[in-house]
Chain A
């Protein structure tokens, strides 16, 4: 996208109150392993944070909404799920996870040829059997509201296991849940999050192989 190198470079020259954003911009620019979409998200979030430094080009950067975020937002809504084997399940989404495993209530299952039906109070579908999901149209607007408000609250780049622990205030929030496995930063994060039940960092880095199955 157009909003990468040049504009970020010029941002890095902006003094004082823009400095933190500009710094973040530099880091993003210099880290080759960040995906393009993440830069875009950064650009977009920065324009939200401070319209003064934005340009029309930056404003028009499209937002890549994650399919699983949309699915999460669809909780409580009716939806249709078609499996790879052609069966379809109509029901209300109770919950879903990062593997797209989904839990439905008040379900009607339809056979592949569409001539047999089963009603069931609830069902759980393994994510990798899904072909597609049909979601009510209005759900997409709710995601946008949520993502925007999240971008307002936090500067981008936090919780990525990057950035040498600038911002002490947020470090307790959700450290290193994103990527894990990256040097010193992770060590610190594990220390802080150690007492908590789900310890995201530990699960991803070392211990994941054994623990996942054991339960």
Chain B
């Protein structure tokens, strides 16, 4: 879609962010800057566990500092809607080690 390799093409789309402390935050990308600081609207955190299904914590409007971001990925909303998160078990991610 976009010719650039940046996040331009993801603005106003739902994205999934993995942070350095191992959290997974899903929300609508509203903006970003050169330092990869990003604005996430209507965001929620997905908390993974091996004992229970995925918990979703509502976070709202977030500014995440670029220093703390490992991965930004596009979220396939159709695929995501078909996931049954309550049945999904997974190990939580470990924090990044610098």
- Which residues of A are in contact with B by a Cβ distance under 8 Å? 1, 4, 35-37, 40, 62-71, 84, 100, 127-128, 130-137, 139-140
Contacts and interface: CB of A to CB of B under 8 A. Distances in A.
Contacts of B62: 132-135
Nearest to A71: B63
Contacts of B50: none
Given A131-B64, A133-B62, 19 more contacts: A35-B4, A36-B3, A37-B6, A40-B8, A64-B8, A66-B31, A67-B31, A67-B38, A67-B63, A68-B37, A70-B30, A100-B65, A127-B65, A130-B65, A132-B63, A134-B59, A135-B61, A137-B61, A140-B61
B30 A140 contact: yes
Interface of B: 1-4, 6, 8-9, 11-12, 19, 21, 30-33, 37-39, 41, 59-65, 67-68
A131 B65 contact: yes
A67 B32 CA distance: 6
Contact of A136 (B1, B8, B61): B61
A22 B9 CA distance: 24
